[in-house]
């Protein structure tokens, strides 16, 4: 069964060459999602499926626990380990 109880079918959004390494979050307007992939914060446009790397790729991925849009959708907050402690960072949503 490919459908859902409320109707419709599942639609694949991303077609990345790397796995998604985190939870994801919806942009407040619903036009994009943010997540960690290839050890970077990524933004994916829901209409086109195009994904944009927002942070440099590092040897160690940002924490996959939370990748969260700001209420106005202009920033994405995420965590990265610094000297053994998790710290909060933000990046422009693109």
CA 52 to chain centre: 10
pLDDT at 40: 96
pLDDT value of residue 11: 86
In terms of Cα–Cα distance, which of 25, 6, 30, 31 is closest to 91?
25
pLDDT at res. 1: 46
pTM over 0.85: yes
If the chain, 94 residues long, is cut into consecutive pieces of 10 residues, what is the mean pLDDT of each piece?
70 92 96 96 96 94 94 96 95 93
Reference 29, options 65, 69, 67; nearest CA is: 69
């Amino acid at each position: 069964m490919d459908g859902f109880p409320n109707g419709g079918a599942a639609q694949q959004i991303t077609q990345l060459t790397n796995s998604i390494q985190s939870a994801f979050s919806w942009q407040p307007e619903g036009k994009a999602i943010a997540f960690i992939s290839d050890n970077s914060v990524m933004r994916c446009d829901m209409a086109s499926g195009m994904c944009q790397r927002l942070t440099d790729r590092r040897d160690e991925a940002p924490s996959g626990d939370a990748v969260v849009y700001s209420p106005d959708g202009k920033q994405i907050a995420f965590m990265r380990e610094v000297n053994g402690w998790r710290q909060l960072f933000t990046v422009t949503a693109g």
